[in-house]
Chain A
């Protein structure tokens, strides 16, 4: 079974500063993928970034980067230069490579202060 733990129910960050959202995972699979999604108050789930378990480089997508530490089973999301529009719920998720479902954490609510 796969499990995702997000220990920060809520986070605050000042506009233009960087913020790290924590995610730890547990799995017995050797091949898996880690994902981050953003869910604004409007409700849609927006894919942000992906990291494969065999990827040696940390994934980056614009202002988003994923700090992948395989031995610690952590996959933290770093958002650089926060913007007011980044205020949302953020979910960490994982899935087996080339398999079906994703398992989600309970999310972190990020609030960006002006």
Chain B
């Protein structure tokens, strides 16, 4: 069990550029989540997938954000035309669909800085 991995760990970009982040979940997990965390706050839900289907998107996810999980394994989160307000830690988490609780396993995050 190698855990959830995210790449890159840090990204610095200029305003207006596009960025893409990758998340590799734990292999047997069919659910994958993206959260955004700004300094001093808790993670805010962005979107989640069950297998390759995107089941829910937050209203926080503007048209500039898009996420994919094409084969039900890894996922990418793309931000187009980045703004300074997009600077945050982007966290990915995964778990299996179960009928009890939904503890999520988090990756180390990608820290985005928009200059």
Chain A interface residues (CB < 8 Å from chain B): 4, 33, 35, 37, 43-47, 50, 52, 91, 93, 95, 97-107
Q: Which residues of B contact A (CB under 8 A)?
A: 31, 33, 35, 40-45, 48, 50, 55-56, 58, 89, 91, 93, 97-109, 111
Complex CA distance for A71 and B44, rounded to whole angstroms: 26
Q: In the complex, which of the residues A46, A91, A97 contacts B101, with contact meaning CB atoms closer than 8 Å?
A: A97
Alpha-carbon gap, A96 to B108, bound state (A): 24
- Chain A's closest residue to B48 (CB) is A100
| Interfacial chain B residues near A33, Cβ < 8 Å | 100-102
Q: List 20 A-B contacts (CB under 8 A).
A: A33-B102, A43-B109, A44-B106, A45-B91, A91-B42, A91-B43, A93-B42, A97-B100, A97-B101, A98-B98, A98-B99, A100-B56, A101-B56, A101-B58, A104-B35, A104-B43, A104-B44, A106-B41, A106-B42, A107-B40
CA distance A105 to B97 in the complex (A): 23
A99 to B101, CA, bound (A): 9
Query: Is there an interface contact between A44 and B108, defined as CB atoms closer than 8 Å?
Result: yes
Does the CB pair A103–B109 fall under 8 Å?
no
Which chain A residue shows the least CB distance to B47?
A101
Q: Is the CB of B40 within 8 A of A106?
A: yes
CA distance A101 to B35 in the complex (A): 9
Does the CB pair A100–B55 fall under 8 Å?
yes
Query: Nearest 10 pairs between A and B by C-beta?
Result: A104-B42, A45-B106, A101-B45, A33-B101, A100-B48, A104-B43, A106-B42, A50-B101, A91-B42, A95-B102
Q: Is A47 in contact with B45, judged by CB distance below 8 angstroms?
A: no
Residues from chain A with Cβ under 8 Å of B101 in the complex: 33, 35, 50, 52, 95, 97
